[in-house]
Amino acid sequence: MLRLQRSYTKLLSVQRRQAVGDHNYFMLTIRDLKMSLGGRLLFENASFQVNYGDRVALVGPNGAGKTTLLSLILKQKVPDAGTIERDEWTMVGYLPQEGEAHGEETILDVATGRVDELPKLEKRLHELEAAGAVSTPEYMETHAKHDALNDPQVETKAKRMLRGLGYRDTDFDRKAQEMSGGWIMRARLARLLVMEPDLLLLDEPTNHLDLLALLWLQSYLKNYSGALLLISHDRQFMDEVVSQVHEISEKKLIDYTGNYSDYLREREERYEQQLAAHKNQQKEIQALQEFADRFRAIPSKASQAMSKLKQIERLELIEKPVAPRKPFRFQIPQPPRGGQRSVTLEEIHMAYGANQVYAGLDLSIERGERTVLIGPNGAGKSTLLKILAGVVAFQQGERKLGHNAKIGYFSQHRADTLDPEKTVLDEVLASAPLMPENEARAVLGSFMFRKDDIFKKTGVLSGGEKSRLNLIRFLVDPPNILLMDEPTTHLDIHTVESLTLALERYEGTLIFISHDVHFIRQLATKVLHVSGGQVVPYAGGYDYFLEKTGAVDDARAALTAA
């Protein structure tokens, strides 16, 4: 009886959507939202709507309220005012930025939900049934999720999703707690895709993906049947996946049609149009006011003067628009010129215990190259960067530096290089003693250190803030060989663009790891493909690499298999 009740409710949901027409069927409506957090007003009179099949990116600077908005949609937070309506027939799936493994569950357990998620859903269903709440929206959504994970084919589907996201079959039975947080998040993403929610909420879904997995997810979401609302700092990913952008600006939600690049163009056009309209109206007001001031004391013209003043009062004032935030540009100091050969590796053998990473590796990096390391997570990219930087000991072989080589290694875990008693501003000025303080403040501002932030002691900074500060220290006094491991982590999309512009002007040798395709495309002139202990060079940029390796075809093949 219970199974029949759930199946019948699910059938009603499908029939209703077909009756109204999928793309006219609203899933989520927000009206006149007001929300404060920590004493700061995030939203005021903000409204927007998501319909079935929409693919929406939520954009805005860090701290604007993007993740808070998802929490409101999920009913984890309550707004100060306004309404958030979710259609009762809609199943919502959510992927947060972070996640942990519990107990002895395997990766396949995480992807199928059979250890933690399915029992929770079953328990909640029984509670709602005992309370006679079988017609409530919560019951409908809970049973839809339960049915999806209780499907006889769920394990087969989960394995397909896991393969697409980069897992090997031998990983399925591994304990999840033995793996990194990034790999656990992939398994949780696989679970969401298995459930196929009507509305999929994704908070930075590409953070933990290597490029092949990113290509697979990108292709999958482009063909996803439900609606999508995502937060991402990956410009290329948004360009490929979304067809609408909602920008959080001035505490409002402003909608744009098209992908992220379309949004940038339309935002600039709207700004120019509104600015021109504002200026024209101000000229009109000035002319009317001048006429009134000139003739109000003349009896024969007084009535006309009053008419002009009333005309001003009747005008609906056009506000001066806020200029769109643009990437900060600063002139990066150029490092001393090094030799033609920057760094050479000969017959490198590198292992962590029984895990052999490289055996007999030979590699040469030339002056001025901008090289990106590409390969699956765990292939040895970060290890190779550390070998080049000289910060990890290898068992055999030789590392040779070129003439006048000065190496700088930017790691995401470099907090120990900061003096905990120095302020943020002190650290930057110590790195570039000749830089004027106002310029140092401007650079810090562009990397999200604003106002009193620059006077914080580095000892109280978060991990992300320390990472950004170390990045700034490299930019204001760059070495002539710059090695960077995921430099765009913890940066919003505008700050990534500022970093890109700075590195485009850098004349030294750049070797980096990144999963941000736009960042890679803008900078890389050479690719090193790292996989299975081999490093294969490609003397061209990212698109050249994709063409030569058929990586896009591989992702499509994996998608077809899924």
Same fold yes or no, 2-250 and 341-561:
yes
The backbone torsions φ and ψ at residue 463, rounded to the nearest 5 degrees and listed phi first, read: -60, -40
The backbone torsions φ and ψ at residue 169, rounded to the nearest 5 degrees and listed phi first, read: -60, -30
Q: Minimal CA–CA distance to 345: which of 379, 296, 385?
A: 385
Which amino acid belongs to residue 12? L
Longest CA–CA span in the chain (Å) reads 101
How far, in Å, CA of 533 to CA of 470, rounded?
30
Assign 42 to helix, strand or coil. strand
pLDDT score, position 80: 95
How far, in Å, CA of 49 to CA of 315, rounded?
31
pLDDT score, position 327: 80
Contact 256, 48 (CB under 8 A): no
How far, in Å, CA of 463 to CA of 457, rounded?
13
pLDDT score, position 10: 47
How far, in Å, CA of 483 to CA of 471, rounded?
11
Q: Minimal CA–CA distance to 411: which of 346, 507, 461, 482?
A: 482
**Domain map (residue ranges) of the chain:** 2-250, 263-314, 341-561
Q: Minimal CA–CA distance to 340: which of 496, 480, 490?
A: 480
CB atoms within 10 A of CB 395: 11
CATH-assigned architecture of domain 341-561: 3-Layer(aba) Sandwich (3.40)
CB atoms within 10 A of CB 410: 20
How far, in Å, CA of 424 to CA of 412, rounded?
17
Query: Which alpha helices (DSSP H) does 463-516 contain, by range?
Result: 463-476, 493-504
CATH match of 2-250 with 3.40.50.300? yes
CB atoms within 10 A of CB 46: 24
Instruction: Please list, in sequence order, all residues whose beta carbon lies within 8 angstroms of the beta carbon of residue 525, skipping any fewer than 6 positions away.
Output: 369, 370, 371, 540, 541
Q: What is the mean pLDDT of each run of 10 residues along the chain (562 residues)?
A: 42 47 71 91 94 93 88 93 88 80 84 88 90 86 87 91 91 89 89 93 88 89 92 93 95 95 95 95 94 89 90 92 83 86 94 91 95 89 94 94 91 71 91 88 85 88 81 88 89 86 92 92 95 92 88 60 54
How far, in Å, CA of 442 to CA of 265, rounded?
26
How far, in Å, CA of 91 to CA of 147, rounded?
12
- Token reading at 205: 């879904």
Contact 270, 323 (CB under 8 A): no
How far, in Å, CA of 127 to CA of 133, rounded?
9
The backbone torsions φ and ψ at residue 15, rounded to the nearest 5 degrees and listed phi first, read: -65, -40
Query: Which alpha helices (DSSP H) does 296-380 contain, by range?
Result: 299-314
pLDDT score, position 8: 41
Question: Which residue in this structure is represented by tokens 């700092």?
Answer: 233
CB atoms within 10 A of CB 523: 21
Strand order of the β-sheet with 26-37 is 40-51, 26-37, 81-86
CB atoms within 10 A of CB 155: 15
The backbone torsions φ and ψ at residue 371, rounded to the nearest 5 degrees and listed phi first, read: -110, 130
pLDDT score, position 416: 60
Contact 406, 338 (CB under 8 A): yes
